Structure 1
Amino acid sequence: MRAPRYLLVLPALLPTLVVFAGSLIRLADLGLRPYARGHIGTGATLDNVRRFAADPYSWRVLGDTVTLGAVCAACAVALAYPMALALHRLRSPALRGAALFLIFSPLLTSVVVRAYGWNVLLGDGGVLNRALLGAGVLDEPLRIMYEFPAVVVAMVHVLVPFAVFPLLGVVAQVPRSAIEAAHDLGAGRLAVFWRVTFPLTGHGVLLSVQLCFALTISAFATPALLGGGRVQVLSGLVYTNIGAVDWPIAAVQSFALLLVTLLVIGLTNLAARLIGRRRP
């Protein structure tokens, strides 16, 4: 009798689950501890949950975090999809390798170096503003750095490789015969894309959106460096409260971030199933 295939992942899955479950248990323990005047007490209380629920600033930051995640995920997937199609159609191994290197090169660079590079490009005296001022398009520098657009641009830059990878896998699985059959029936390129290619790769698009969203709302360094304190995300609040030794509220905020991620992933999966059932 052959063993199920999923047993092959148990040696790697079990240690990961132990560490993950242990971390969540420790966070839950901290979140239920009483906190007063910089001291973490013993016992269990829901005061920290009430503090978080009653704090409008935390809710506003949570909303900004979700907005940032949705915008960055949408932009990254919109850029990654044509890249995946182009990579799939490349027949030269050399060109394909060079394109993959260029796409994944942001992951080889330190986040601090990337932030400095975007500052050189997008700053008040940066390359972009100098070019626009020199061309007479602007009368004064465009304020981009330390604002929401700068964080979006920097996050999308590093998210595109994560979006391309799953999309490249599903694009490669689209049967060539289905595309040829659509062309034989008189469909144009646009019709073939919307009625054949895109529906067959929809699950890859959903996976890329979920991955990019989860990576964005949990990011800390890029929003902190390029947001300049004006773009607040929940991970930044967690960091601030850890530094202030208010670990119980930081634990509650961490759970809120985890629950929001799971909720969004669950809702997108549900929406995808409903759309799939309605499709003839």
Structure 2
Amino acid sequence: MTKIHPSAIVDPRAELDSSVEVGPYSIIGPHVQIGAGTVVGPHVVIEGHTTIGRDNQIFQFSSIGAQPQDKKWAGEPTRLEIGDRNTIREFCTFNTGTVQDQGVTRLGNDNWMSAYVHLAHDCQVGSNTIFSNNAQLAGHVQVGDWAILSGFAGVHQFCKIGAHAFIGMYTSLTQDVPPYVLVSGNPAGARGINVEGLKRRGFSRTEIDAIRNAYKLVYRSGLTLEEAKAALLEEEQAAPQAAPCVQAMREFLGVASRGIVR
């Protein structure tokens, strides 16, 4: 425990790997578990029933694991779970969950969370996402793998954002965003698919063409969502080499609960 600064306050009941570093004036509560290689900067508060994995870097002035900002919370021991290799920049605020949902807020692996990012209670964020400065999630929001939220994007409670979606700067999001879709504006509108992101992640030309066709069926064909789901199923069967991409879009439409951004 020689890497804990003398001015840090670490509760003796906290479970920290011997390789964890804790900077000056940070405070770590009794129900916190932190895995190997994680670095906690100065003036960080980590509290609540919080589990943090390996090789994370948490920058100064972040508040991790505080009680949910929900008036229904009555002191239940809800949780925050953070995976491995995440970068959490200055002034981030991640809250624990509520018993009205799963009781846990989750952040996966290899995410880049820029300064002032807020993850409210019960949010479920996947892996390899990028949140730019001041991206804000209200409670119960779900964000798929590889999604990108630009600066000052704000997401209404219970919204879902699919994998590989891109949310533009200052976007006010009150409905669900299917996988691969690029949205921007206030109110948000669909602007096409996240082509550049898909290319960077190694999607083939066949897969990108299939995703573009799926987008046209949902957004440009005049079909209802039920009709679009049926048409997407036909697309899966017609192009089996790209079927998983189209399937992801179709299945998302089946679970979208707030309607999709048009």
After TM superposition, is the score higher than 0.5?
A: no
TM-score, with normalisation over the residues of structure 2? 0.21
Largest Rg, 1 or 2: 1
Structure with a larger share of its residues in strand: 2
Structure with a larger share of its residues in helix: 1
- Higher relative CO (Cα under 8 Å, sequence separation at least 6) belongs to 1
TM-score, with normalisation over the residues of structure 1? 0.20
